[in-house]
């Protein structure tokens, strides 16, 4: 499918660039693993624009924010069919269609919503469902290819070889460029990679959650797979803007997370205090230190912090040029290793869907 002619698209790009007035910004690039997929060193997680962190935000404001991100050098955008559901892909598609050849779009299949509650429900990675989901995502994203197509959660009822085979067919058809997994364990990663090269794994990873360091990072390095950390700022906690007195909208899913009870937030402030001390010395913010720490771990790590505000986007981007010295990193490692964080990151139902 094609959307628009070359001439009008170029004119629209030029108009957006002129309006932005941000021609002087240079964003560093990274490649995801051994693939040829090159993206901005920091991407943009788009979920919160439409779901999970309170009511959906104004559509036109979010379109402006997405386009502002492109003009600031962000080329990597993350969404999923289940965000909304469906409305986030539509938003990303409308915002980025005029700029399509300048960006990399990742989306996901296989995680359903419980229609009664809006919460994440079951999984479905049957090959026939993957094919249907891909066609629907292509339409919502207003594009003819998905740059990075992740299995959102492992489906214990479908062999991962069948999942990888279905995505491989989509790649052969030109509808998908790269295959990804999300929250998968090392055995699943190896089995999938044997059928179709896995370009990226999307997992939670930050100073707030370091589980990938136990096994996953070594396997990714061995196989040449990139890591795309979601929630690199601890769902906002590592910014220092949240404390035990913070109240969330009733529709904000953080209300259901054990690590976000008032007691846990009060106890876990010690991690934010560590980041704030380093930030004061580096003339930075806690969020920038948290992101710079992630970027310093491996050259094939590309975090995707989410935001709805251009000012926060600019703040996050500042982490790319922030250099943490070996001494800084040792200090963070030494101090953080003594911190015991309180509260699980997910309730039991969601925790059971990870690391398979």
Active site residues: 83
Beta strands in the chain (DSSP E): 29-31, 38-40, 44-45, 76-78, 104-109, 111-113, 120-123, 146-151, 176-182, 198-204, 226-230
Structure tokens at 27: 């964003």
Closest-CA residue to 339 (of 295, 293, 275)? 275
Phi/psi of residue 169, nearest 5 degrees: -65, -40
At 97, is the secondary structure helix, strand, or coil?
Answer: helix
* SS3 annotation, 241-260: CCCCCCCCCCCEHHHHCHHH
Task: Specify whether the CB–CB gap between 97 and 140 falls below 8 A.
Answer: no
Q: CB burial class (10 A; 0-12, 13-18, 19+) of residue 15?
A: exposed
Tokens coding 275: 């980041």
Strand, coil or helix: what is 5? coil
């Amino acid at each position: 499918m094609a959307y628009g002619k070359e001439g009008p698209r170029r004119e629209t790009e030029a108009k957006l660039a002129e309006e932005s007035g941000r021609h002087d910004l240079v964003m560093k690039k990274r490649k995801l693993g051994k693939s040829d997929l090159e993206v901005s060193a920091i991407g943009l997680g788009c979920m919160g624009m439409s779901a999970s962190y309170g009511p959906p935000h104004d559509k036109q404001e979010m379109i402006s924010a997405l386009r502002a991100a492109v003009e600031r050098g962000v080329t990597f955008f993350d969404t999923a069919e289940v965000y909304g559901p469906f409305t986030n892909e539509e938003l990303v598609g409308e915002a980025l269609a005029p700029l399509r050849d300048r960006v990399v779009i990742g989306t996901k299949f296989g995680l359903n919503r419980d229609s009664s509650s809006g919460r994440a429900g079951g999984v479905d990675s049957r090959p026939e469902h993957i094919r249907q989901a891909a066609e629907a995502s292509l339409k919502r994203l207003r594009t003819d290819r998905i740059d990075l197509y992740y299995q959102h959660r492992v489906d214990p009822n479908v062999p991962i070889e069948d999942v990888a085979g279905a995505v491989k067919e989509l790649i052969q058809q030109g509808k998908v460029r790269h295959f990804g997994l999300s929250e998968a364990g090392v055995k699943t990663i190896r089995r999938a990679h044997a059928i179709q090269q896995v370009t990226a794994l999307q997992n939670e990873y930050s100073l707030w959650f370091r589980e990938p360091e136990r096994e996953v990072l070594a396997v990714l390095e061995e196989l040449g797979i990139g890591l795309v950390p979601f929630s690199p700022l601890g769902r906002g906690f590592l910014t220092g803007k949240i404390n035990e007195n913070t109240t969330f909208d009733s529709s904000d899913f953080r209300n259901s997370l054990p690590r976000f009870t008032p007691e846990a937030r009060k106890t876990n402030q010690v991690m934010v205090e560590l980041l704030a001390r380093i930030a004061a010395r580096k003339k930075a913010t806690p969020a920038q230190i948290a992101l710079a720490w992630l970027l310093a771990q491996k050259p094939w790590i590309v975090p995707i912090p989410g935001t709805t505000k251009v000012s926060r986007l600019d703040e996050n981007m500042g982490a790319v040029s922030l250099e943490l010295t070996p001494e800084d990193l040792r200090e963070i490692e030494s101090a953080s290793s003594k911190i015991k964080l309180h509260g699980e990151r997910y309730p039991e139902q969601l925790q059971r869907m990870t690391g398979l």
